[in-house]
Amino acid sequence: MSEAPFVFEYKNYPLIPIKFFIKGRETPMIDALLDSGGDFIVIPYAIAKYLKLKLEKAGCVDTAAGETTLYKTILNMVIYDEDQKYTYENLEVHVSDRNDLPVLLGRKPIFEDHEIIFQKHQNKLILQPIQHQWTGYLFFLGAVGRNFKSVLHDSDSEEQIMPYIYEGWTLYKRDVTLKGGRKQTIYFFSKRSPKSGTPCELPPGYSVGVNKRTGLPYLKKK
Protein backbone atom coordinates (compact mmCIF):
# COMPACT_ATOMS: atom_id res chain seq x y z
CA MET A 1 0.00 0.00 0.00
CA SER A 2 1.19 3.52 -0.77
CA GLU A 3 2.61 5.37 2.24
CA ALA A 4 1.06 8.75 1.42
CA PRO A 5 -2.60 9.55 0.80
CA PHE A 6 -3.82 9.99 -2.77
CA VAL A 7 -5.30 13.44 -3.40
CA PHE A 8 -7.58 14.13 -6.38
CA GLU A 9 -9.59 17.07 -7.61
CA TYR A 10 -13.25 16.60 -6.69
CA LYS A 11 -15.72 18.10 -9.14
CA ASN A 12 -19.27 16.84 -9.57
CA TYR A 13 -18.50 13.15 -9.08
CA PRO A 14 -15.89 11.14 -7.12
CA LEU A 15 -13.61 10.22 -10.03
CA ILE A 16 -10.18 8.59 -9.77
CA PRO A 17 -7.69 8.31 -12.68
CA ILE A 18 -6.63 4.72 -13.31
CA LYS A 19 -5.24 2.38 -15.97
CA PHE A 20 -5.79 -1.32 -16.51
CA PHE A 21 -3.10 -3.58 -17.98
CA ILE A 22 -2.50 -7.25 -18.68
CA LYS A 23 0.07 -9.19 -20.73
CA GLY A 24 1.66 -6.20 -22.44
CA ARG A 25 -1.58 -4.37 -23.24
CA GLU A 26 -2.89 -1.36 -21.30
CA THR A 27 -5.74 1.10 -21.49
CA PRO A 28 -5.40 4.88 -21.77
CA MET A 29 -6.03 6.84 -18.56
CA ILE A 30 -9.63 6.34 -17.38
CA ASP A 31 -11.69 8.40 -14.92
CA ALA A 32 -13.26 5.69 -12.75
CA LEU A 33 -16.28 6.36 -10.52
CA LEU A 34 -16.22 5.39 -6.84
CA ASP A 35 -19.26 3.18 -6.19
CA SER A 36 -19.88 2.67 -2.46
CA GLY A 37 -22.96 0.58 -3.24
CA GLY A 38 -21.01 -2.02 -5.24
CA ASP A 39 -18.90 -4.87 -3.92
CA PHE A 40 -16.36 -4.99 -6.73
CA ILE A 41 -14.86 -3.30 -9.79
CA VAL A 42 -17.03 -3.29 -12.92
CA ILE A 43 -15.76 -2.35 -16.38
CA PRO A 44 -17.66 -1.97 -19.68
CA TYR A 45 -17.34 -4.69 -22.30
CA ALA A 46 -15.35 -2.44 -24.64
CA ILE A 47 -12.37 -2.48 -22.25
CA ALA A 48 -12.44 -6.28 -22.02
CA LYS A 49 -12.51 -6.50 -25.82
CA TYR A 50 -9.64 -4.02 -26.17
CA LEU A 51 -7.47 -5.97 -23.69
CA LYS A 52 -8.52 -9.34 -25.20
CA LEU A 53 -9.61 -10.71 -21.84
CA LYS A 54 -10.83 -14.22 -21.14
CA LEU A 55 -14.24 -14.00 -19.48
CA GLU A 56 -16.22 -16.28 -17.17
CA LYS A 57 -19.96 -15.65 -16.74
CA ALA A 58 -20.88 -14.46 -13.21
CA GLY A 59 -24.63 -13.64 -13.44
CA CYS A 60 -26.77 -10.48 -13.28
CA VAL A 61 -26.51 -7.61 -10.82
CA ASP A 62 -27.77 -4.07 -10.15
CA THR A 63 -25.04 -1.41 -10.37
CA ALA A 64 -24.96 2.38 -10.05
CA ALA A 65 -25.66 2.45 -13.78
CA GLY A 66 -28.53 -0.08 -13.74
CA GLU A 67 -28.96 -3.84 -14.20
CA THR A 68 -26.27 -5.65 -16.17
CA THR A 69 -25.01 -9.15 -16.96
CA LEU A 70 -21.53 -9.66 -15.55
CA TYR A 71 -18.51 -11.76 -16.42
CA LYS A 72 -15.39 -12.30 -14.29
CA THR A 73 -11.76 -11.84 -15.26
CA ILE A 74 -8.33 -10.98 -13.78
CA LEU A 75 -6.64 -7.60 -14.35
CA ASN A 76 -3.93 -5.33 -12.99
CA MET A 77 -4.88 -1.75 -12.09
CA VAL A 78 -2.82 1.39 -11.43
CA ILE A 79 -4.11 4.39 -9.43
CA TYR A 80 -2.52 7.77 -10.16
CA ASP A 81 -2.39 11.21 -8.61
CA GLU A 82 0.03 14.05 -9.40
CA ASP A 83 2.81 12.71 -7.16
CA GLN A 84 2.55 8.94 -7.05
CA LYS A 85 0.97 5.76 -8.29
CA TYR A 86 0.03 2.40 -6.80
CA THR A 87 -0.48 -0.92 -8.60
CA TYR A 88 -3.00 -3.59 -7.68
CA GLU A 89 -2.04 -6.90 -9.27
CA ASN A 90 -4.26 -9.87 -10.12
CA LEU A 91 -7.54 -8.20 -9.21
CA GLU A 92 -10.80 -10.01 -9.80
CA VAL A 93 -12.71 -7.59 -12.05
CA HIS A 94 -16.27 -7.91 -13.32
CA VAL A 95 -17.11 -7.07 -16.93
CA SER A 96 -20.51 -5.73 -17.93
CA ASP A 97 -22.16 -6.76 -21.18
CA ARG A 98 -22.93 -3.05 -21.69
CA ASN A 99 -20.81 -0.15 -22.91
CA ASP A 100 -22.99 2.67 -21.58
CA LEU A 101 -21.66 2.63 -18.02
CA PRO A 102 -18.42 4.03 -16.55
CA VAL A 103 -15.72 2.05 -14.80
CA LEU A 104 -17.11 1.50 -11.29
CA LEU A 105 -14.78 1.07 -8.31
CA GLY A 106 -16.68 -0.87 -5.64
CA ARG A 107 -15.70 -1.62 -2.07
CA LYS A 108 -13.10 -4.27 -2.98
CA PRO A 109 -10.29 -3.29 -2.80
CA ILE A 110 -10.44 0.54 -2.69
CA PHE A 111 -12.84 1.00 0.24
CA GLU A 112 -11.20 -1.84 2.19
CA ASP A 113 -7.75 -0.25 1.91
CA HIS A 114 -8.61 3.45 2.32
CA GLU A 115 -10.70 5.91 4.25
CA ILE A 116 -12.53 8.01 1.64
CA ILE A 117 -12.44 11.71 2.55
CA PHE A 118 -14.40 14.41 0.71
CA GLN A 119 -13.24 18.00 1.27
CA LYS A 120 -15.94 19.83 -0.67
CA HIS A 121 -14.80 23.32 0.32
CA GLN A 122 -11.34 22.56 -1.10
CA ASN A 123 -12.63 20.46 -4.04
CA LYS A 124 -10.53 17.51 -2.90
CA LEU A 125 -11.10 13.77 -2.80
CA ILE A 126 -8.58 11.94 -0.59
CA LEU A 127 -7.84 8.23 -0.31
CA GLN A 128 -6.17 7.87 3.10
CA PRO A 129 -4.52 4.44 3.63
CA ILE A 130 -6.05 2.58 6.55
CA GLN A 131 -2.95 0.47 7.05
CA HIS A 132 0.39 -0.32 5.48
CA GLN A 133 3.08 -2.94 5.80
CA TRP A 134 6.34 -0.98 5.94
CA THR A 135 8.48 -0.46 9.01
CA GLY A 136 9.27 3.06 10.11
CA TYR A 137 5.80 4.58 9.68
CA LEU A 138 2.27 3.91 10.86
CA PHE A 139 -0.48 5.92 9.21
CA PHE A 140 -3.43 7.43 11.01
CA LEU A 141 -6.91 8.60 10.10
CA GLY A 142 -7.67 11.90 11.73
CA ALA A 143 -6.99 15.60 12.03
CA VAL A 144 -4.25 17.84 13.35
CA GLY A 145 -4.22 19.52 16.75
CA ARG A 146 -3.19 19.34 20.40
CA ASN A 147 -2.58 15.92 21.94
CA PHE A 148 -3.53 14.85 25.43
CA LYS A 149 -4.38 11.71 27.42
CA SER A 150 -7.54 10.55 29.12
CA VAL A 151 -8.11 7.47 31.25
CA LEU A 152 -10.40 4.61 30.23
CA HIS A 153 -11.18 1.54 32.33
CA ASP A 154 -10.65 -1.90 30.80
CA SER A 155 -13.26 -4.13 32.42
CA ASP A 156 -11.55 -7.30 31.19
CA SER A 157 -8.06 -6.69 32.56
CA GLU A 158 -8.78 -4.24 35.41
CA GLU A 159 -6.04 -2.04 33.93
CA GLN A 160 -6.31 1.67 33.38
CA ILE A 161 -5.75 2.46 29.71
CA MET A 162 -4.59 5.93 28.75
CA PRO A 163 -5.41 6.28 25.04
CA TYR A 164 -3.62 8.86 22.95
CA ILE A 165 -6.04 11.55 21.71
CA TYR A 166 -5.33 14.06 18.98
CA GLU A 167 -7.77 17.00 18.89
CA GLY A 168 -10.75 14.78 19.68
CA TRP A 169 -9.53 11.78 17.64
CA THR A 170 -8.81 8.70 19.78
CA LEU A 171 -5.98 6.34 18.85
CA TYR A 172 -7.03 2.71 18.35
CA LYS A 173 -5.14 -0.46 17.52
CA ARG A 174 -6.07 -3.83 16.14
CA ASP A 175 -4.24 -6.96 15.06
CA VAL A 176 -4.39 -8.03 11.42
CA THR A 177 -3.06 -11.01 9.50
CA LEU A 178 -0.98 -10.11 6.44
CA LYS A 179 -0.37 -12.15 3.34
CA GLY A 180 1.77 -15.13 4.27
CA GLY A 181 0.16 -15.41 7.69
CA ARG A 182 2.33 -12.84 9.49
CA LYS A 183 0.46 -10.90 12.20
CA GLN A 184 0.87 -7.14 12.67
CA THR A 185 -0.67 -4.47 14.86
CA ILE A 186 -2.05 -1.44 13.02
CA TYR A 187 -3.01 1.92 14.50
CA PHE A 188 -5.68 4.41 13.47
CA PHE A 189 -7.57 7.46 14.76
CA SER A 190 -11.36 7.69 14.97
CA LYS A 191 -13.94 10.00 16.54
CA ARG A 192 -16.45 7.17 16.58
CA SER A 193 -16.20 3.73 18.12
CA PRO A 194 -14.88 1.47 15.31
CA LYS A 195 -16.26 -1.99 14.51
CA SER A 196 -12.95 -3.50 15.65
CA GLY A 197 -10.03 -2.10 17.60
CA THR A 198 -9.28 -0.95 21.16
CA PRO A 199 -8.11 2.45 22.49
CA CYS A 200 -4.38 2.53 23.10
CA GLU A 201 -1.40 4.64 24.10
CA LEU A 202 1.12 6.13 21.70
CA PRO A 203 3.57 3.28 20.94
CA PRO A 204 7.04 3.74 22.48
CA GLY A 205 9.65 5.15 20.12
CA TYR A 206 7.15 6.92 17.84
CA SER A 207 6.07 10.51 17.39
CA VAL A 208 3.35 12.10 15.29
CA GLY A 209 4.10 13.85 12.02
CA VAL A 210 1.71 15.81 9.81
CA ASN A 211 1.31 15.46 6.05
CA LYS A 212 1.82 18.98 4.69
CA ARG A 213 -0.51 18.46 1.73
CA THR A 214 -3.50 16.95 3.52
CA GLY A 215 -3.00 18.01 7.13
CA LEU A 216 -3.44 14.38 8.23
CA PRO A 217 -1.20 12.99 10.97
CA TYR A 218 0.91 9.86 10.78
CA LEU A 219 3.25 7.99 13.12
CA LYS A 220 7.00 7.95 12.55
CA LYS A 221 9.96 6.58 14.43
CA LYS A 222 11.80 9.10 16.59
Residue 106 and residue 11 share a domain? yes
Within-domain flag for 125 = no
Q: Determine, yes or no, domain membership for 32.
A: yes
The reply to whether 51 falls in a domain is yes
The Cα–Cα gap between 94 and 41 comes to 6
Do residues 20 and 90 lie in contact, with contact meaning Cβ atoms separated by under 8 Å? no
Percent of residues, the chain, with pLDDT higher than 90 = 21
Question: Which domain range does residue 204 map to?
Answer: 131-221
Q: Which helix (H) or strand (E) holds 56?
A: strand 56-63
- Give the per-residue pLDDT at 127: 86
Domain count, the chain: 2
pLDDT at residue 196 in the model: 77
Residue 123 lies in a domain: no
- Band of pLDDT at residue 118, cut at 50, 70 and 90: confident
- Residue 80: count of CB within 10 angstroms of its CB: 15
Answer yes or no: do 61 and 86 share one domain.
yes
- On whether the CB atoms of residues 142 and 216 are closer than 8 A, the answer is yes
